[in-house]
Structure 1
Amino acid sequence: MNAVNEVRQLLGGLDPARDVHSADENRRVRDLERILASDRAVGSVRPRLPRRRLVVAAAGAAVLAAAAGAVALETFRQPQPAFAATPAILNYGPPATAEPASARLQRLAALAAAQPVPQRPAGTVEYLESANWFLNSSISGGRTTSAVVPQQWRSWRTDEDAGRMVKKDLPPTFRTDADRREWQRQGGRIGSSEEVRDSATGGFYSRFQGPVPTDAGVLRQWLTAGASAHEAPVQYLEDVAELAGVRLLNPAQRAAVLQLLADLPGVTVSGSVTDRAGRPGEAFSIVSDVHGLPAQYTVIVDSGTGALLGYEEMLTTTAGKLNVTVPAVISYRSYLVAEYAAMPR
């Protein structure tokens, strides 16, 4: 039961075809290929933790199933394999300025607010696209088997909170052939799969309904509507990362997001960085053990527009029963497209 308890501690607080011009499509293909190429790199990594939920299976096996952006874990009884492959750590350079994180984020918020409001053609909806990477692991007292699972997310949302979400799981990768065989033996998927979910009015995404507030204080309350306030500041950073993956934010809304981040205790500057899609940005992080294991949670911000480019979670000191070598990136999200587009038929 020690392994199960440790997994519970680790994950207990967490729950995560449209017409385009050929140039846009080629750009997105190149972005995705670049990101997935970095997924296959093996090396030391910095990590973080996503939103998960706990499910208890029959025959004493504890199953931790992945929610959006989550690490999925199951317990089985086999001998321990080699450490799992994880993405290379991003190379953080000197900060863009000598300002502390709060002051710099406030300046970026002002920059975001000054951006022009994008034109919205008639008959269009919010369209978002992202590339995501999640570590899926099965663990027991003596063995952990892991698969690296890249995902493509695309979504279309109307003003009435109706829409479509498409999640495509790409073929998982493994550190060893033995892990692949064990994964298959346990019934794990090794090919691609796609889930398409169409939602009627009010059903697109239950957490973030209606207009996103443009005031940081109101936004903070809106993020936890119907629930109690978060116990740790980093949980608001996690909310912002989730929000950026499913909602198109206008300049005022981006400014509110950055101001909220600026107000969080413990936020620090990680430095300048090129994200996994090859875009320059500035990284801001919070280190927390609110979900069990100490982890670093980072957002990457475009210094020209204030848009969120990406989010990463990295284990910093210990991996517990997970078969990764710390520091290790255990999940990331790369926000590739946020624009208005026609709803697919």
Structure 2
Amino acid sequence: MNAVNEVRQLLGGLDPAREVHPADESRRMRDLSRILTSDRVAVSTRRGVPRRRLVLAAAGAAVLAVAAGGVALETLRQPEPAFAATPAILSYGPPMSAEPASVRLRRLAAVAAAQPAPQRPAGTVEYLESANWFLNSSISGGRTTSAVVPQQWRSWRTDDDAGRMVKKDLPPTFRTDADRREWQRRGGRIDSSEEVRDSAAGGFYSRFQGPVPTDPVALRGWLTAGASAHEAPVQYLEDIAELAGVRLLNPAQRAAVLRLLADLPGVTVTGTVTDRAGRPGEAFSITSDAHGLPARYTLIVDSGTGAPLGYEEMLTTTAGKLNVAIPAVLTYRSYLVAEYATMPD
């Protein structure tokens, strides 16, 4: 419970549902308790800010590391442990309508575009906060050891792309004491850590510089600026999930995001859902094996504002060498705050 208490101290003043409706203090704490206790064993294996990268370790140990939520592969020969803990699968209800995803997403884009632009007090910057869960696993010789690593992300960005990013890693959670001991034996950390990165103009976030386009075609090119177009449609969905965690999107930008999603081949309606912060929304998914194992990538959207609420990745048919039971949620990001605020000292 130390990790849970620490997160509560960090996020105690936040209202996960503040974009949905006003809430009193008791409601705020109930919502926060839900997202931190029911999902403190939630795990995720996706990029946070950095991209996937392959690292080869010495002495024949192969390591695949995904920064801010990844899977590490090491060569060890140990007995196979029990399945790792993964978060409960969200329960999806019937869709809001019988419309195909492309039509429904365009309707939500129109809803987003009709929202009033947020008021920006003088001297403020973009401020975002998200709660994330990442599964770090080391696999080899039939042995898989997993640690669930919850993270808190906070960022402040100025108009000239300066700012501050704070990443708080909380103590990892393990399915068994044996996994904890093995994790420690391999040098894995078991305490909290915090990384604070201050950036000068132009250095806040290399991928998403300048204003977010409000045209879906322009947005598609902007997401891959400096690189070739994505080969798999799901990569654009992943980009949008990444973007939502670091940039405050105004109504026109939200509408462009939803129209881009509407144009992606393979996007489907997953259904209505209550997200992991207790907020109602609509879910849209793409199922793809673009990154190896077949997985379903899902974005949850607020029906009333078109704002992104959450994102998850779930293995659907096979876990490969991961010690998880199928279906298994491996990534979850909950977008809690997106507003204007003053830059901290």
Matches of 1:162 and 1:145, distance apart in 2: 39
User: SS at 1:173's partner residue?
Assistant: coil
1:136 maps to 136
**Partner Cα distance (1:158, 1:41) in 2:** 34
1:248 and 1:339 in contact (8 A); partners too: yes
Q: Alpha carbons of 1:29 and 1:229: their partners in 2 closer, same or farther (altered >3 Å)?
A: farther
State the shift of 1:36 in Å.
Answer: 2.5
Q: 1:94 to 1:229 in 2, by over 3 A?
A: same
TM-score under structure 2 normalisation? 0.89
Instruction: Indicate the residue corresponding to 2:121 in structure 1.
Output: 121
How far off its partner does 1:21 sit?
11
Q: Aligned pair 1:75/2:105, yes or no? A: no
Structure with bigger RCO (C-alpha 8 Å, 6+ apart): 1
| 2:330 match: secondary structure | strand
- CA distance in 2 between counterparts of 1:58 and 1:315 reads 30
Given the superposition, is the C-alpha separation of residues 28 and 231 from structure 1 closer, same or farther in structure 2, using an over 3 Å criterion?
farther
Partner of 1:233: 233
Deviates more, 1:85-94 or 1:56-65: 56-65
Which runs of at least 4 in structure 1 moved beyond 4 Å after TM superposition? 20-32, 47-51
Change (3 A) 1:40 1:198: closer
Residue 85 of structure 1: aligned partner = 85
Give the C-alpha shift of residue 49 in structure 1.
5.1
Q: Find the aligned partners of 2:207 and 2:31 in 1 and give their Cα distance.
A: 28
1:221 aligns with 2:235: no
Alpha-carbon contact 2:15-2:32 (below 8 Å) kept: no
Q: Retained in 2: the 8 A contact 1:48–1:312?
A: no
Contact 1:48 1:314 (C-alpha < 8 Å) held by counterparts = no
Question: What do the CA deviations read for 1:7-44 (whole angstroms, capped 9, x no partner)?
Answer: xxxxxxxxxxxxx99575967765443222122468xx
Which whole-Å deviations, capped at 9, do the CAs of 1:211-263 have from their partners, x for residues lacking one? 00000000000000000000010000000000000000000000000000000
Contact 1:35–1:276 under 8 Å retained in 2: yes
1:1-345 aligned within 5 A = 31-40=31-40, 50=47, 51-68=51-68, 70-77=69-76, 78-345=78-345
Ranges in structure 2 where 5+ consecutive residues have no aligned partner? 1-10, 17-24
Contact 1:48 1:315 in 2 (8 A): no
Separation in 2, partners of 1:119, 1:168? 29
SS of 2:333's equivalent in the other structure is: strand
Distance 1:244 1:220 in 2: 15
SS where residue 208 of structure 1 aligns? Answer: coil
Which residue identity does 1:74 align to in structure 2?
A: L
Secondary structure at 2:239's aligned position in 1?
helix
Change (3 A) 1:53 1:79: same
Q: 1:183 & 1:334 partners in 2: Cα distance?
A: 27
Whether the 8 Å CA contact 2:114–2:251 is kept in 1: the answer is: yes
TM-score, normalising length: structure 1: 0.89
Aligned mates of 2:14, 2:135 — CA distance in 1: 32
SS in 2 for 1:256: helix
Inter-partner Cα distance in structure 1 for 2:32 and 2:168: 13
Q: Percent identity at matched positions?
A: 83
Distance (whole Å) between structure 1 residues aligned to residue 85 and residue 214 of structure 2: 40
Aligned partner letter, 1:39: D
Give the number of equivalent residue pairs: 322
